[in-house]
Structure 1
Amino acid sequence: MENLRIPTLENERIRLSPINLENYKQLLEIAQEDKLVQFSPSKIDTPEDLQSYVQNALDSFQQKTAIPFIIFDKKENAYAGCTRFGHINWHNKVLHIGWTWIGKRFQGTGLNKNMKFLMLEYAFETLQFDKVEFRVDERNITSRKAVEKIGGTLEGILRKDTLMLDGFKRSTCCYGILKEEWPSLKQQILA
């Protein structure tokens, strides 16, 4: 952890590499897509907002509480969005996977499943963490189903815990995957 760096995670379909204040510009067009982050409290739809979003992720990386990535879809030969490990608790060996958004044309193509697989594999097998958590807006049925499909267990709902940009107070579904669940989930995902 002392010399924390952002790794590059990849397979035949996807490459997750360090996001920075240069390459994030590849995401400017995607970030402006309508309702891309409607279930997120983050604003990314202007160049300034997106830069601030990335800077926040990089600041969290410097504090060793996040590892942010830019997503490259090898099949489409295009940048698709971003994601990160966050709320990293090195002592308790728990982290979150989230802050994920991908362009509409990449949704439903298997890209997200490949990304989550690489991130889970890294969290459990390289970092040796004990638990990975996901926080999802209760209204975001698509994301909830995606987390459940890769084996996330709903552990509870935090009621009205996050203030959204439009003033709505959302409730957040908390999902988790434990290290001891990973080997069988890995086989299911690979199958």
Structure 2
Amino acid sequence: MLIENSLVKLRPMQLEDVDAIYEVAKYPEIWTHMSINVNGKEDVLKYVESALKTKETGTEIPLVIIDGQTNKIIGSTKLMDIDKKHKRGEIGFTWLTPSYWRTAINTNCKYLLLSYCFEVLEWNRVQIKTDHENFRSQKAIERIGAKKEGILRNHMVRKDGTIRHTVMYSIIKDEWPETKQYIEQLLK
């Protein structure tokens, strides 16, 4: 599986990606709102091994994000919480190395993943969720046209032990054609 356009490539994560992921993941600001910390190569190895185990269960597809110009790994994302019976899943655990923040890369990733989910996998629903304090992520999700469904209160315990409320968004199959056109306009 390779999903790509001229700016970005998404391909399945591999154990051999540990060194390349470590090089772009060693910035603490990436992990502020994430459920893990990456403080060294050993953490990256655990992260990749854990992601590959979930792939074996069929509930997640961990992917690396590759800059289409340099062919270097610049981040990661997942299709997760996959429910084949109900034809739904989630785009999540997305992160980019900070030099790619506020670029077109994340929008391109979401566009490619949503196209894959709705047009190849034929899902009925794709959800995206984020921490209630991650305003940058909320703005990015809203920018691509996802609908805010609400907040799951006391949904998770953060790595520091504090409570996280989760802001839920989704796009459904009926909305995809219009949302797709909207995202394509953003990308021009």
Question: CA RMSD of the aligned region, Å?
Answer: 1.1
Deviation at 1:76, TM superposition (A): 4.5
Partner of 1:118: 112
- 1:157 maps to 2:165: no
Instruction: Report the Cα distance in structure 2 between the residues aligned to 1:108 and 1:74, rounded to whole angstroms.
Output: 17
The one-letter code of the counterpart of 1:16 is L
- Stretches of structure 2 that go unaligned for 5 or more consecutive residues are none
SS in 2 for 1:36: helix
Verify the 8 A CA contact 2:18 2:41 in the aligned structure 1: no
The one-letter code of the counterpart of 1:81 is G
The one-letter code of the counterpart of 1:100 is T
Partner of 1:52: 46
The one-letter code of the counterpart of 1:124 is F
Partner of 2:91: 97
Instruction: Report the Cα distance in structure 1 between the residues aligned to 2:19 and 2:175, rounded to whole angstroms.
Output: 37
Partner of 2:27: 33
SS in 2 for 1:114: helix
**Partner residue of 2:124 out of 127, 130, 155:** 130
Partner of 1:75: 69
Q: Normalising to structure 2: TM-score of the pair?
A: 0.95
Moved over 6 A (4+): none
Partner of 1:88: 82
Instruction: Answer with 114-123 or 35-44: which moved more.
Output: 35-44
- 1:185 maps to 2:186: no
Q: Deviations over 1:137-185 (max 9, x none)?
A: 0100111111111111111111121111111111110111001100011
The one-letter code of the counterpart of 2:62 is P
Deviation at 1:75, TM superposition (A): 3.2
Higher-helix-fraction structure: 2
Equivalent residues in 2 for 1:11-30 (5 A)? 11-30=5-24
Deviation at 1:93, TM superposition (A): 0.8
How many residues in Structure 1 have an aligned counterpart in Structure 2? 185
**Partner residue of 2:170 out of 164, 172, 176:** 176
**Partner residue of 2:60 out of 53, 56, 66:** 66
Q: Normalising to structure 1: TM-score of the pair?
A: 0.93
